[in-house]
Chain A
């Protein structure tokens, strides 16, 4: 029953001219349902049947500050993995049925599936190790690792939505980290560092957009070169000024944690989400604000117009170069703020090249999130989470090499841009200089 209408509709699509075909039913996409079923089978085959029988997986759920202390969960590995795998299989079958009947499943489906898959993997990885899997540490680590990625992805998003490709996110993060450390150390206040960081990022963004808008230089080239410039400048200043007088210029300053009363005492998510520094709370605000503003405000509409069709935007009186300059500088400021996380956010002194390629991962997160704040947030969290899992598992010992786990986000991104995870469409005028 499921096959018949598919082939008919495919035939119908082929028979019609293209512009008429658009109004007809699209061919059913079997890619996702099949992937779900395959992943569920992988979970059943590998995570369940490779688990030694009688082994126990131990999860630690509590932290010291909880009101209600959850007991550590000792789960029989085989049975738990089996249940989780069967649930996944159920979701996979649901996806197949839904696809055949052309019912759209909500966002809850892939998220629930992903959660079950990850849990099954954790049960398998921790089976019989004799060590607890620290759930709160895992999640807190995931959020920590995601912070610069989320800031960077928001920076890339604002830039690219207005038509400027920003490869220099890496440089903006690094510049922010540098200035935050120096300013915080000089004024012996982490908050001064936090205030200074956006200016460093905005300066790099300003350079980028200056070359891109005034001189029409290829934006990717400017971005790559700016990264080298920022690495060179910060490393040079680090080796000279910062090491000559580390007390004055590169002393450690840390933003204090500000637990939100009440919320921070919820088990598991409280200490993860609501016992953070002001920088992380700022991140919540920025992501939420962009989520609203990009699609619901005049600023967002103009930004998208300039990024999609600058000529049309110009015709209705939007100043294209000015919009691009303003937005790219603003985006640079956001990335600079994210860079502050590396130094004052974590209470570390500045170190050479301490952003370590995070800017490029942020770029990938933005693309994986399809130039959408919500999507970019989820993608960045996914990257942070898989890195965190890799780190936690490498400390308790794991059957899967941690390098493979760390590689995973990049492989997913390649699949994504190769068109597997839906169509990824950048803003139309991205990277094209606007010449009247």
Chain B
């Protein structure tokens, strides 16, 4: 139909130009709707915001600012160098280090990125399942802590053969997370308790629980008063898959398997369909015969298990010893990972790799240029905020709105409204949103 229209246009005078213009508009509009474009532009804006922050706090730049009107060139040159150094260090720390001495060192950053990404992907998938089912699981932190705690205890307190020990530790970690998520899930299913509040509370309870456990000698088994546990046995560790010199461990395989599993669960299984159904419309799901309480509880149990697995993989693959700060900011990072991945399994995987990379690169950036790694948090949050509000990104880049400019849209809506009111004399009583 559109080809018909364009050929019609072409026949009219000046049509060719108009056609090209409309084609361009069409292409731009198409682009501005594509989610990957929004994602890319959000990352771009975040990098610009980060650059401004780095410039504003850099002493060298401040010095050149002092004589800006005498020699503005200095200011721009220094600014450019500072930003180039910071972001190139970020890239070298995250992807490929072209300044490294050996080829092995040069490709090490990308493996570090994946090491960081493993717990983020696993926990992010757990959160994403919740989002797809209309539940906000803020409790990733607590579930990760419980997962790591169970995995660690099994890892050093039990003596088991090589394969079974690792398997049991991983299962234990998943179980720990599942129990912690399950408390929120069962309470929501049985009493309607808001899962946001319950999971936040469980995060804090987990923090005190781990602090208490680390003071108990039967638990830490180290013989010292340090609040840190014994080291996990060799047989329970996630083995390295690239040999010495690399920290990359089998957890990445686990993360890939979990991504495929979650895809299958959400897109191909009956349970996943039910979960998505209660996320879209719980009333409709109930009418269609879905056992809503059961599905609700299962969402948080499975989500918790994945978060617990993330904590277990972090401990068994990277940390080996349990300490109070084992989860770091993983729990909240996992939420941003799930949001950035739009709660899709593949998206979450890629988002986890991106944030893992930011973290790995941030370490090198801090070491080489003195830019604090906290800037990574700013980048992450700006990216996620912008992705959540595509109209804002379009406004920043002057991209057209999907269905015309706001003004056109408003006029059109007004017209439709008047037409609707004219059509049905008693104004249709709309169901008020709950």
Residue of A220, A403, A428 with most chain B CB atoms under a 10 A cut-off: A403
Decide if A432 is an interface residue (CB 8 Å cutoff).
yes
Q: Of B197, B329, B375, B382, which one neighbours A413 at CB under 8 angstroms?
A: B197
Chain B contacts with A in 126-140, Cβ cutoff 8 A: 136, 138
Contact B391 A215 (CB under 8 A): yes
Contact A403 B432 (CB under 8 A): no
Do A244 and B211 touch (CB < 8 A)? no
Which residues in A have their C-beta under 8 angstroms from that of B192? Answer: 419
Q: Which residue of A lies closest to B213 (CB)?
A: A403
- Tell me, in angstroms, the Cα distance from A357 to B204 when the chains sit together: 8
Please determine whether A239 and B372 come into contact, CB atoms closer than 8 angstroms: yes
Given A403-B211, A432-B433, the answer on whether A225 and B336 have CB atoms closer than 8 Å is yes
| Chain A 220-240 per-residue mask, 1 if CB under 8 angstroms from chain B, else 0 | 111011111101110111111
Check B381 against A236 for contact (C-beta < 8 Å): no
At the interface, yes or no: B408 with Cβ under 8 Å from chain A?
no
A434 contacts across to B, CB distance below 8 A: 433
Which stretch (A284-292, A332-340, A359-367) binds chain B? A359-367
A33 smallest CB distance to B (angstroms): 20
A111 CB to nearest B CB, Å:
23
Residue A188 lies at the interface, judged by CB distance under 8 Å to chain B:
no
**Interface contact B200-A364, CB-CB below 8 Å:** yes
Decide yes or no whether A45 CB sits under 8 A from chain B. no
B281 at interface, CB cutoff 8 A: no
Residues of B within 8 A of A282 (CB): none
Q: Is the CB of B372 within 8 A of A227?
A: no
CB within 8 Å: A-B pair count: 146
A236 touches B57 (CB 8 A): yes
Question: Is there an interface contact between A407 and B377, defined as CB atoms closer than 8 Å?
Answer: no
- B382-408 CB mask vs A (1 if < 8 Å, else 0) is 101100110110000000000000000
Could you say which of B53, B187, B381 contacts A228, with CB atoms under 8 Å apart? B381
- Whether A228 contacts B208 by the Cβ 8 Å rule is no
Which B158-198 residues have a C-beta within 8 angstroms of A? Answer: 183, 187, 190-194, 196-198
Instruction: State the main secondary structure of chain B at its contact with A.
Output: helix
Neighbouring A residues of B136 by C-beta, 8 Å = 218, 220-221
Residues of B within 8 A of A241 (CB): 57
Flag whether B335 is at the interface (Cβ < 8 A).
yes
Q: Say yes or no: A231 contacts B193, CB within 8 Å.
A: no
Q: Within the complex, what minimum Cβ distance (angstroms) separates B166 from chain A?
A: 30
Evaluate contact between B385 and A224: CB separation under 8 angstroms. no
Nearest-neighbor residue (CB-CB) of B59 within chain A: A244
Q: Find out whether the CB atom of A419 lies under 8 angstroms from the CB atom of B59.
A: no
A414→B374 contact, CB < 8 A: no
When the two chains form the complex, which single residue of B336, B376, B378, B433 contacts A429, counting CB atoms closer than 8 Å? B433
- One of B191, B197, B336, B377 near A364 (C-beta < 8 A): B197
In the complex, what residues of B have CB within 8 A of residue A410's CB? 201-202, 204-205
Min distance, Cβ A409 to any Cβ of chain B, angstroms: 8
Contact partner, A418, options B187, B196, B332, B375, Cβ 8 Å = B187
Chain B, range 350-390, C-beta contacts under 8 Å to A: 371-372, 374-382, 384-385, 388-389
How far is A237 from B57 in the complex, measured between Cα atoms in Å? 8
In the complex, B434 has a CB within 8 A of chain A: yes
Q: Does B212 contact A (CB under 8 A)?
A: yes
A89 vs B266: C-alpha distance in the bound complex, in angstroms? 53
B255 within 8 A of A: no
Q: Which residue of B lies closest to A390 (CB)?
A: B208
Give the CA-CA distance A215 to B401 in the complex, in Å: 13
Q: Which residues of chain B are within 8 angstroms of A418 by Cβ–Cβ distance?
A: 187, 190-191, 193, 198
Q: CA–CA, A167 to B205, complex, Å?
A: 18
* Cβ-closest chain B residue relative to A232: B377
Q: B43 at interface (Cβ–Cβ under 8 A)?
A: no
User: Which A residues have a C-beta under 8 Å from some C-beta of B?
Assistant: 167, 211, 215, 217-218, 220-222, 224-229, 231-233, 235-241, 244, 309, 311-312, 352, 357, 360-361, 363-364, 367, 401, 403-404, 406-407, 410-411, 413-414, 417-419, 426, 428-429, 432, 434
Considering the complex of A and B, which 8 residue pairs feature the smallest CB-CB distances, nearest first?
A: A232-B377, A239-B372, A229-B381, A235-B374, A403-B212, A240-B57, A215-B389, A232-B378
Q: Which B residues contact A (CB, under 8 angstroms)?
A: 53, 57-59, 136, 138, 183, 187, 190-194, 196-198, 200-205, 208-209, 211-212, 215, 329, 332, 335-336, 339, 371-372, 374-382, 384-385, 388-389, 391-392, 432-434
A-B CB contact pairs (8 Å), 29 listed: A167-B138, A217-B389, A218-B388, A224-B336, A225-B339, A226-B385, A228-B332, A229-B378, A229-B381, A232-B374, A232-B376, A232-B377, A232-B380, A233-B53, A239-B374, A240-B57, A240-B371, A240-B372, A311-B433, A312-B432, A357-B204, A367-B197, A403-B212, A407-B204, A410-B205, A411-B205, A417-B193, A417-B194, A419-B193
